[in-house]
Amino acid sequence: MTALEEPLVSVAGLHALVYCERLFYLEEVERIRLADARVYAGRRVHTELESTAGEEEEGTVSRVVFESEGLGIQGAVDILRRRDGRLIPYEHKRGRSAGRKGAREAWETDRVQVGAYALLAEEALGQRIEEGRVRYHADRVTVRVPLDDALRDRVRACIDRARLLRDSLDRPPVTEDDRKCRACSLAPACLPEEGRLAADPAFRPIRLLPVHPKGQTVHVLAPGARVGCSGERLVIEDREANVERVPIVEIGSVVVHGLAQISTQALRLCASHDVQVHWMTFGGGLVGSLAPTAPSAQRHVRQLEALADDQIGLTLARRLVRAKVDSQLRFLLRATRGAPVRATVEPAIIHLRTMLRSLDTATDRAALLGYEGTSAAAYFGSLPALFAEGVDPRLLPARRSRRPPRDRFNALLGYAYGALYRDALAAVIAVGLHPGIGFYHQLRSSAHPLALDLMELFRVAMVDMPLIGAVNRRTFDADADFEELPGKVLLSASGRAKLIELIERRRHDVWRHDVVGYSLSYARIVELEARLLEKEWTGEPGLFARLRIR
């Protein structure tokens, strides 16, 4: 095939298309793949079939690959069997058949799939095929599917429709049959319920994505540690030869702090299991990431087109700044409710309320930056009032200082914001957005603007609140957990370990998202907001940055 020839449509893609056109588009055009338990179970059926290849009865062959330029499709039929001189393609399914007991039928998706295989086999082998069969393992029945003219026409119409969709930049709308979504492996990426909510504010979505992110985050903290692999496990060994083995399927991401080593084999194992790897400095800065991702040309083009529109960018930026200032205000109100220090923070509260009222008058990004900047100054100026009596004064913030942090609290804050940035970047990449194309932050630093945009929503809830709470609970030791150097303060190894534990706990705290109405861990909510952001320019707008932190 030359580069200009049309790629063939996969027969599995036709199966998806009949189920839901959006599923076909997400899987076959945007190349989004999420394997859930059902998908793995389906794969097991096929693996077992393959493992018996070579033991077939005479006249039977497994996993026969066909492709046809004429038909425009390609695929591997599970089994091709010759019976009494007739060729019969078989498709194996893990689930149940359609119809009732005594009148079992194949599902329409399976009819089209086995019909497509029959057309492929017919063309390749030059022999007319009268029927295909589908074996349903859950109820142990085999259903016959006659390859009549109606099915032949149906398969060809599906191929035409698939080609049409493949050439479009527009993602099809969610299916009207919400029962399909509950059984769809791609629901956590598609978010159909949220699409319905965008169309109808009275709609009450149900949660179709897991509460917690996939797998644990493995932090490699010990200086001189080495990460290798053995089979399907990562093996982490420190200088004292302490060894930890973690199955790769239990890992969501690996964070290498400082100068620990990770082998090429381990990186490859991570990449093949969609496990992100991040390298962080001991100061909390993100050096770089290995983030396996599917090709996302359509998503990048749509993002670029949308965010090149100043009005869309301004609307999103205004919503983002409102959410951030509102979360600062709510935190100050909550932390000082009924306390004598309320009077101390009252000027900041008044200022933040005034800013919230003024945001709608901002006609460009520069004006928003101004409002956000004065709000941040008022908010950070109030933070010392939120610390409990008796806290070591060396742990209190003097004023915000970034690179380098000048005091202990800023060292904690900078490190935790670095971890939040890493989460936001990981979510942006996982959703298939381009992190370099933002709508609020500019390309001024080495940081990706869209990740900086997204993290604004979570600074208060995922960093400021838990950090101040931890300092008030005397979690940090002003001597042992920090290193004072000329002109800067850094975390010591014990300080980093405590802070990472605090951040991980917060990432797994479950909180009810007030817009979608269901509960998720904070780590998942970061991803959810990235997906809601993408919906802003894929026909389901209005939900991004509407959440309010309590």
Copy the structure tokens of residue 371: 């409002």
Q: At what angle do helices 342-358 and 310-335 cross, to 10 degrees?
A: 160
CB 339 within 8 A of CB 345: no
Closest approach of ligand SF4 to the CB of residue 537, in Å: 17
By C-beta, is 178 or 484 nearer to ligand SF4?
A: 178
Identify which of residues 18 and 118 has a Cβ nearer to ligand SF4 in the complex. Answer: 18
Q: Supply the minimum distance, in Å, between the C-beta of residue 191 and ligand SF4.
A: 8
- Asked whether the beta carbons of 505 and 280 are under 8 A apart, the reply is no
Joined tokens for residue 344? 């101390």
Given a contact cutoff of 8 angstroms between Cβ atoms, the answer to whether 232 and 270 are in contact is no
Dist. CA 478–CA 408, nearest whole Å? 8
Largest CA distance in the chain: 92
Of 190 and 470, which has the nearer Cβ to ligand SF4? 190
Least distance in angstroms from the C-beta of 208 to ligand SF4? 7
Least distance CB 175 / ligand SF4 (angstroms): 4
Q: How far is the CB of 142 from ligand SF4 (least distance, A)?
A: 27
Min dist CB 174 to ligand SF4, Å, is 4
Element of type H or E holding 82? strand 73-83
Please, what's the b/e burial string for 185-217 (b: 16 or more CB within 10 A of its CB; e: otherwise)?
A: bbbbbbbbbbbbbbeeeeeebebbbeeebbbeb
The region that residue 245 occupies, defined by phi over 0 for left and psi between -120 and 50 for alpha, beta otherwise, is beta
For the bound state, the minimum distance from the C-beta of residue 107 to ligand SF4, rounded and expressed in Å, comes to 14
Could you tell me the smallest distance in angstroms from the CB atom of residue 91 to ligand SF4? 20
- CB atoms < 10 A from the CB of 548, how many? 14
Q: At what angle do helices 465-472 and 408-431 cross, to 10 degrees?
A: 150
Residues 6+ apart with CB under 8 A from 430: 276, 291, 293, 527, 530
Question: For ligand SF4, which is the closer residue by CB, 26 or 134?
Answer: 26
Nearest residue (CB) to ligand SF4, 186 versus 425 = 186
How many residues are recorded in the chain?
550
Which residues of this chain interact with ligand SF4, rule CB under 6 A? 20, 22-23, 26, 174-175, 180-181, 184, 186-187, 190, 192
Cβ nearer to ligand SF4, comparing 299 with 322: 299
For the CB of residue 18, give the shortest distance to ligand SF4 in the complex, in Å: 11
Residue with smaller CB distance to ligand SF4, 181 or 447: 181
The Cα–Cα gap between 7 and 72 comes to 8
CB of 97 to ligand SF4, least distance (A): 20
Tokens 């931890």 correspond to what residue? 470
The answer to whether the beta carbons of residues 163 and 6 sit under 8 Å apart is: yes
**In this structure, what token pair is assigned to residue 261?**
């080593």
- Which sign, positive or negative, has the C-alpha torsion 155, 156, 157, 160? positive
- The CA distance from 10 to 122, in Å, is 17
| Structure-block tokens of residue 536 | 């802003």
Query: Quick one: 81 or 207, whose CB is closer to ligand SF4?
Result: 207
Which of 94/180 has CB closer to ligand SF4? 180
DSSP 8-state code for residue 480: T
Tokens encoding 359: 């945001």
Nearer to ligand SF4, 25 or 537 (CB): 25
Closer residue to ligand SF4 (CB): 187 or 526: 187
Instruction: Tell me: cis bond preceding 89? Omega within 30 of 0 counts.
Output: no
Find the shortest distance in angstroms from Cβ 510 to ligand SF4: 23
Least Å distance, CB 309 to ligand SF4, is: 26
Query: Residue 64 and residue 87: Cα distance in Å, rounded?
Result: 13
Between 18 and 79, CB nearer to ligand SF4: 18
Structural contact between residues 78 and 137, judged by C-beta atoms closer than 8 angstroms: no
